[in-house]
Chains A and B, each alone.
Chain A
Amino acid sequence: MSDTTAKNEMNQIEEELLKFKLAVESAAEHIIITDPEGKIIYANPAASRTTGYSLDEIIGQTPALWGKQMPKEFYEKMWDTIKNKKETFEGEVNNIKKGGQNYIASLYISPALDANKEVKYFVGIERDITKEKQMEQMKDDFINITAHDLRTPATATKGFLSMILEGDAGEISPEVKKMVLEAYEGNERLIELVNNFLNVSKIERGKIIVTPKPHEIAEIVEGSMQGLKTQAEERGLYLKCDAGTNLPKVMADEDRIIEVLNNLISNAIKFTQKGGIQITHQVDGGGFLVTNIEDTGPGISKEQLPNLFQKFQKAGALADTPGLGLGLYISRLIINLSGGKIWVNSEVGKGSTFSFSLPVVK
């Protein structure tokens, strides 16, 4: 190999190195490289900008210099992922700048392995996401307050109309009753929209809380039926539930399961012209209690069945009815979060049976 070739090769390697160095130094993300023990051997200028420490102060330290704010388990899981499993760790961390200011960062740590698959370095990349987090919080607050504020007048409307329908203001003519019922149903739709809107926003952000406690399912069903019986009666439909005696208790979040039942039963009422809705329960061998909502409605075609529980889906005959098509999607998520399953059996012309299962209290 001649001198010139060797020199050319050196130049090429140098150029490659320079390229990577320049790229890392100019990156907007905070990038550090540590040895296998976590001691920092390189930090880019962005690391200095996000943490507030100078590069001299950073080199030789560990990221605990600005970190160490998370619970012990967080760091245990992190080390297990990057050192034992040798996989990339991904998370959100609370850090403190040199001046004492808190910030939230999205964090990625990847092990860089040598030819023997041993950890040679760790590469840590952080990005300050404090502003995004604040915006998210503001959005959440806005949605919560709006939903709450929308519900209050809708509650008053529901209350007064239901008192008229219950005869609390004296006898009303069938014609008035019919009109009031229309108003009541319109208002119910508004409440359902607000509920769904709020639920979707919570679910998508992983914030829906399902807190199951032991409950008699028949009592929850009773609660839901009370609110819907007027609507069923007015349409000349029966709404019946089997006694539910001798059933084991289930683990259920009452408020959420009521939402699921309200959704399934009001759907059944909406689409059933003649006959009615029958609610039954049965214990399934695998430690679950199944609740069935069976209607004598038009049924659902085979093509529409698979997508029924997807977001923004409305079955063909239902496509013209108002609503966002979120009800079944939310019901599925709530039931899944409760540890159960939801499904439907239906045939055109023979009605539909929506069923969900909940774990039996052990």
Chain B
Amino acid sequence: MFKILLIEDDNLLQKLYSEIFKKKGYDLKIAGDGQEGLILVKKENPSLIILDIMLPGTMNGFDVLENLKRNPDLKNIPVLVLTNLDSERKTAEEIGAQDYMVKANTTPDMVVKKVESMLKS
């Protein structure tokens, strides 16, 4: 069973994605902000990270991504940026995100499919 870490602060979206990933047979861990996210990455060693950009606290998604990419142990974990900001793909990819999706333009099924294809490659 693949372990996925979701870094997302919105309650409703946390529920939404945990429903669909549970249904599709994934083990989904959830962090509500960037700092918690980084702690959980080290503890859980997930196969993939789904990362929001607008996060509460001192770190936004880009900060988290930079942190991950600086760490030799974590930099190879693929990151899917899943955000409702629609003009940040370039920045996210430059920092090292494997892929980028705009939440409002996707369904949970599409997110799962994307994760599946990322885990295959």
Question: Judging by beta carbons under 8 Å apart, are A156 and B109 in contact?
Answer: no
Interface size on A, residues (CB 8 A): 30
Q: Which residues of A contact B105 (CB under 8 A)?
A: 191, 227, 255, 258-259, 262
Chain A, range 212-229, C-beta contacts under 8 Å to B: 223, 226-227
Docked Cα-Cα span, A285 to B20, in Å, equals 45
0/1 interface trace, chain B 2-22, chain A, CB 8 Å (1 if under): 000000001011011101100
Question: Judging by beta carbons under 8 Å apart, are A155 and B104 in contact?
Answer: yes
Question: Judging by beta carbons under 8 Å apart, are B84 and A151 in contact?
Answer: yes
Question: Judging by beta carbons under 8 Å apart, are A159 and B20 in contact?
Answer: yes
Residue of A nearest to B114 (CB): A223
Q: Which residues of B contact A258 (CB under 8 A)?
A: 105
For the A-B complex, the count of residue pairs with Cβ-Cβ distances under 8 Å equals 78
Q: Give residues in A with beta carbon < 8 Å to B.
A: 148, 151-156, 158-160, 162-163, 166, 168, 191, 194-195, 198, 202, 208-209, 211, 223, 226-227, 254-255, 258-259, 262
Does residue B110 face the partner (Cβ distance < 8 Å to A)?
yes
**Interface band, chain B:** 20 to 34
Q: Which residues of B contact A158 (CB under 8 A)?
A: 104, 107
Chain B, range 86-121, C-beta contacts under 8 Å to A: 86-87, 89-90, 100, 102-110, 113
Docked Cα-Cα span, A354 to B20, in Å, equals 35
Docked Cα-Cα span, A150 to B54, in Å, equals 14
Beyond A151-B84, A155-B13, A227-B110, is A163–B104 a contact (Cβ under 8 Å)? no
0/1 interface trace, chain B 71-84, chain A, CB 8 Å (1 if under): 00000000000001
| Residue with the greatest number of chain A CB neighbours at <10 A, chosen from B107, B108, B113 | B107
Question: Judging by beta carbons under 8 Å apart, are A211 and B102 in contact?
Answer: no
Question: Judging by beta carbons under 8 Å apart, are B104 and A168 in contact?
Answer: no
Does residue B42 face the partner (Cβ distance < 8 Å to A)?
no
Q: Which residues of B contact A162 (CB under 8 A)?
A: 107-109
Ordered by A's residue number, 11 sampled pairs between the chains whose C-beta atoms are within 8 Å are A151-B103, A151-B104, A152-B12, A154-B104, A163-B108, A198-B86, A202-B87, A209-B87, A226-B113, A255-B105, A262-B105
Docked Cα-Cα span, A262 to B105, in Å, equals 9
Question: Judging by beta carbons under 8 Å apart, are B54 and A159 in contact?
Answer: no
Question: Judging by beta carbons under 8 Å apart, are B104 and A191 in contact?
Answer: yes
Residue of B nearest to A160 (CB): B16
Question: Judging by beta carbons under 8 Å apart, are A168 and B84 in contact?
Answer: no
Docked Cα-Cα span, A155 to B107, in Å, equals 8
Question: Judging by beta carbons under 8 Å apart, are A148 and B84 in contact?
Answer: yes
Question: Judging by beta carbons under 8 Å apart, are A152 and B13 in contact?
Answer: yes
CB distance from B98 to the nearest CB of A (A): 14
Q: Which residues of B contact A254 (CB under 8 A)?
A: 89
Question: Judging by beta carbons under 8 Å apart, are A159 and B89 in contact?
Answer: no
| Residue with the greatest number of chain B CB neighbours at <10 A, chosen from A151, A159, A162 | A159
Question: Judging by beta carbons under 8 Å apart, are B16 and A159 in contact?
Answer: yes
Question: Judging by beta carbons under 8 Å apart, are A148 and B89 in contact?
Answer: no
Q: Which residues of A contact B108 (CB under 8 A)?
A: 159, 162-163
Chain B, range 16-39, C-beta contacts under 8 Å to A: 16-17, 19-20, 23
Residue of B nearest to A207 (CB): B87
Q: Which residues of A contact B12 (CB under 8 A)?
A: 152-153, 156
Q: Which 5 A-B pairs have the closest CB atoms?
A: A156-B12, A162-B107, A151-B84, A159-B16, A155-B103
Question: Judging by beta carbons under 8 Å apart, are A255 and B89 in contact?
Answer: yes
Question: Judging by beta carbons under 8 Å apart, are B10 and A152 in contact?
Answer: yes
Q: Which residues of A contact B16 (CB under 8 A)?
A: 155-156, 159-160, 163
Question: Judging by beta carbons under 8 Å apart, are A226 and B20 in contact?
Answer: no
| Residue with the greatest number of chain A CB neighbours at <10 A, chosen from B15, B16, B85 | B16
CB distance from B40 to the nearest CB of A (A): 22
Q: Which residues of A contact B17 (CB under 8 A)?
A: 159
